Structure 1
C-alpha cells in the first residue's frame, strides 16, 4: 500500500492534518485577519509574494479601469453640462452614445481575444491603453454628433481587451481566498471614476467654462487625457503575463518558481495552445452558457444608473453643478457595497450565498424606480440599484474557481459572457429606455428590468446546480479511478 502514490498522498494529507500542533492551527484572530485581508494561516514569505502582486498588478489594473470608466463615463457628464446644446443632440441620440460604444466593443472583442493568445499581454494591453488615451484628447475637438458617435465606436473597440485581460491575469496569479476582494477592488474603480468624473466636471464647469474660448465639457476631456496617459506607461513595466511565461523585470527566477508552486497547489494549470478539440469541449460545457446568461441579466438590470442624471435634469429644480454632483451618491454607495461583498465572499469562503444579497437588493431597487412614487423614494431606488453592482466581482471569482483547471476555458467564458452582456445593453436600452419617448420615468423599461432581475436571482441557483452536479461527477470519476488500482494492490 505504501508504494501506491495515491495512497501515500492520502496518508500524507491525513497525517499532516492530524499531527498539526495547536500552535499552528488557525486562531480566532487569524480568522479575523482572513476576513479583513489575506492574513490567517500562511507564511510571512507568501504574504510578501502576494503584496508584490498587489503593488504591480492591482495598481495597474485598478488605475487602468479607473481611467476607462472616467473617460467613457464622462460622456454623460458632458451631455448634461452643455454638449447636448452645443452639438444639437436630439431625440434618441443620447441612447446611441452607448449603442455605438457597445458595437465597437463587440466588434473588437473576438479579434482581441485572438490577439491576446498571440501577443504577450504585457505588450498588447498597455499599447491599447495608449491608443485609448490619445482618443480621449480627440473628444475635446469634436465638431458634431456624428464625430462623437465615430469616436465612441473606436473607444469601445479599444476597451474590449481590458476587462477580460485583467480577469485572466488575476486568475493566473491569485488564489481563491485572495481573488474576490481583488476583483471587487478592480471593479470599484468604476464607481470611483464616476464619482471623480462628477466632481471633476462640476469643478471644471465652475472654474474653466469659457477659458480659451472652450466650454467646460471640452476641458473635461482634455484633463481626462492628461490623467489617462500614465496608465500605459506603468503597464509596460507592471504587467507580468502568467507564471509560466512571465518575463517581468520586477520578478527574480526564485519568485517565479514560488508563484508557479502557488498555482500548482490549487491546480491552476499551465496554458496550452487552443485546438479545435479544446474549443469543442468548451462549447459543450455548461459554464459558457450559464455564466453568459447570468451576466446578460446583470448587465441589463444595472442600466438605471446611466439614466439617473437624465431623470435629475428633467426635474427642472437643480443646477448643472448639482446634476453632476448628486449621482456621485449612488457611485459612493456602489463602491462601499462592492468592496463589502468581495471582502465577505473571500473572508467566509462563500460565493452563491453572497450573490443572493445584491440580487435581492437589485429587485427591490428596480421595483421602486419603475413605480417612481415620490422624488425621495425614486432617489432611494437608484441608490439601491447601485448596491447591486457588486454582484459582478463575486460572480467572476466563482467562475474562475469553478474553471480553475482550464485557463483557456476561463478566458473564453469570461470573454463570451462579457461580449453578450455588452451586446444586450447595446439594443435593450434603446428599445425600452428610449430617452425621446420614455424619459424621465422610464416606467415600461424599468418594469421589464424588474422581471429580468428575477432571472438574475434564479441564475445563481442554476450555477449552483450545475456546479454541484459536476462536483459529484468528478468525485465519482475519482472513485472509479482509484478502486481498480486498489483491487490490483490487494490482489498483489
Structure 2
C-alpha cells in the first residue's frame, strides 16, 4: 500500500515536471520529436533573436558614433524591422502552404545569415534601415511557422511546455548577445581595423549558419505529409494516430464559410487586442541600456552586461509560469494575473522617476512579464481546440497586429530624441495600457465561460431531442 502511494505521488510529480506517465512507446515518439524538431526550433529562434536584438548592443558599443545615429533614429531601427516583419508575415504564410516547411524555412534561414553578415559592412544609417527591413521580412515566417509545426505533432499536455521552452530562447539570445558584445568589445575592438560592434555581426552570422543546414534534416513537415529521414516508416502512423485521438486534423484549404465563421467569433478580436497590449507593455527593457548610458557612470562593458539580469529573470519566470500552469491542470487566466501584476508595479516605479535602485528594479521586473505570451497561446489553442483553421488565423492575426502597434507606438511615446533618458510620458501611458491588459484577462475568461454555457445548452438540447425521439418510438411500438 505504501509503495502504491509512493508511485502515485511520483506520478503526480512527473506530471507537473514534464508530460506525466505514459507508455514507453509514446515516450520514445515524443523524445524523437524533441531531439529533432525542438532542437532545431529552439536554436533557430535563439539565432534569430540574437541577430535581430543585437542592434541595441551594437548601438551602445560604437555604432551610434560611427554612423552618426541621432535623435529618433534609434526608434526607427525597431520600426523598420517591424515593418519588414508585417510586410512579410501574410505572404510568407501563403508560401508556407505552397511549399514544404522543410525546404522553405531553411532557405529563409540561409538568407537571414547572409543579411546578418552584411550588417558588419554598413557605412550609413540608411543601409542599416534597409537591412533591418529585410531581416524583419526574413523573421516573419519563423515563430508562426514553428508554432504551427509544434501544434501538428504535440498533444495539449505536451504543447504548452514546448512553447515556453521555444519562447525562452529569446531571453537566452538577449543574454548571450550582451555577454558576446561585452566580450568582443573587450577583446576584439579595433582588431584588424574593425570596431567591436562590427565583429558582433560577424560572429552572429557564423552562429546562425548551422540552423539552415540542420533544418533541412530536422524539420518534419506534418504527420500526414512527412518525409523526414529520422522517422522510421512504421512510426509515422503512430504520430498520425496521436493527432487523430485529439481531433487534430490535417491542414485543409480555407473556405469562405470558414473565414466567415472565424470573423464572426470573438477570439480573433479579443485575443488580438490582448496581444496588442502585451506587445506594447513589454518594450521598456529595450530602453534600459539608453538609460544606463545617460548616467555616465558605467563602462560600455557594464552597460552591455547589466540588462542580461532582466533576460535571466525573464527566462526563469517564463518557464515557471508554463510549468505551474500545466501542473495545476491547465490554469491559464489565474497564472496570467501574476506577470500582469509584476509589470504594473515595474512600470509605475519607472514612470514615477524614483531613485536609481528603484528604477533599476522597475526595468528588470518588466522581463518577468514576458512569460505571459506562452500561457496566452496555450489558452488560445484550448479556446479554438475544435477548429484548426480558426486557431491558425487567430494566432496569425493577433501576432501581426501586436507587431504592427510596436512599429509606431514606441516611436511616439518612447522617442529617444525627445524623452530620453527617463521616458516619463511613455511609461505613464504604458502603465495605463497594463491596466487594460489586466482587464482583458477577465474579458477573455467571460467569453470562454459564455461559450461553455452555450455548448452545454446545445448538448442538453440534443440530449432532450434524443430522449423525446426514443419515447415516441416506444409509444409507437406499444
- Does TM, normalized by the shorter one, top 0.5? yes
Could you tell me which residue of structure 1 aligns to residue 411 of structure 2?
Answer: 430
Structure 1 position 245, deviation (Å): 2.0
Structure 1 position 476, deviation (Å): 2.2
Could you tell me which residue of structure 2 aligns to residue 387 of structure 1?
Answer: 368
Structure 1 position 278, deviation (Å): 1.3
Q: What aligned pairs does 1:346-357 form with structure 2 within 5 A after superposition?
A: 346-349=326-329, 350-357=331-338
Could you tell me which residue of structure 2 aligns to residue 181 of structure 1?
Answer: 161
Separation of aligned partners in 2, 1:152 and 1:393: 26
Structure 2: give runs of 5+ residues left out of the alignment: none
Give the alignment's TM-score, normalised by structure 2: 0.96
Residue by residue over 1:321-364, the C-alpha shift from the partner in whole angstroms, topping out at 9 and shown as x without a partner, is 00000000000010000110111111112111111111111111
Give the alignment's TM-score, normalised by structure 1: 0.93
Structure 1 position 87, deviation (Å): 0.4
Separation of aligned partners in 2, 1:25 and 1:454: 45
Separation of aligned partners in 2, 1:271 and 1:448: 41
Residue by residue over 1:3-50, the C-alpha shift from the partner in whole angstroms, topping out at 9 and shown as x without a partner, is xxxxxxxxxxxxxxxxxxx9799822111111111123x212111111
SS at match of 2:279: helix
Could you tell me which residue of structure 2 aligns to residue 147 of structure 1?
Answer: 127
Q: What aligned pairs does 1:74-93 form with structure 2 within 5 A after superposition?
A: 74-93=54-73
Could you tell me which residue of structure 1 aligns to residue 87 of structure 2?
Answer: 107
SS at match of 2:466: helix
Separation of aligned partners in 2, 1:25 and 1:317: 56
Separation of aligned partners in 2, 1:49 and 1:71: 33
Could you tell me which residue of structure 1 aligns to residue 383 of structure 2?
Answer: 402
The answer to whether residue 72 in structure 2 is matched with residue 72 in structure 1 is: no
Separation of aligned partners in 1, 2:102 and 2:447: 35
Greater shift after overlay, 369-378 or 138-147? Answer: 369-378
Change (3 A) 1:128 1:83: same
The answer to whether residue 11 in structure 2 is matched with residue 30 in structure 1 is: yes
Separation of aligned partners in 2, 1:465 and 1:117: 34
Structure 1 position 272, deviation (Å): 1.3
Instruction: Count residues in correspondence.
Output: 470
Separation of aligned partners in 2, 1:171 and 1:270: 11
Change (3 A) 1:343 1:276: same
The answer to whether residue 346 in structure 2 is matched with residue 365 in structure 1 is: yes
In the alignment, is the contact (CA less than 8 A) between 1:274 and 1:408 conserved in 2? yes
Residue by residue over 1:347-393, the C-alpha shift from the partner in whole angstroms, topping out at 9 and shown as x without a partner, is 11211111111111111111111113111000101111010000001
Greater shift after overlay, 407-416 or 432-441? Answer: 407-416
Could you tell me which residue of structure 2 aligns to residue 281 of structure 1?
Answer: 261
Could you tell me which residue of structure 2 aligns to residue 138 of structure 1?
Answer: 118
Change (3 A) 1:401 1:161: same
Separation of aligned partners in 1, 2:364 and 2:192: 38
Separation of aligned partners in 1, 2:23 and 2:469: 40
Residue by residue over 1:408-428, the C-alpha shift from the partner in whole angstroms, topping out at 9 and shown as x without a partner, is 222211111111101001100
Residue by residue over 1:226-280, the C-alpha shift from the partner in whole angstroms, topping out at 9 and shown as x without a partner, is 0001111111111112222222221123322222222222222222111222111
Separation of aligned partners in 1, 2:76 and 2:257: 40
Structure 1 position 315, deviation (Å): 0.5
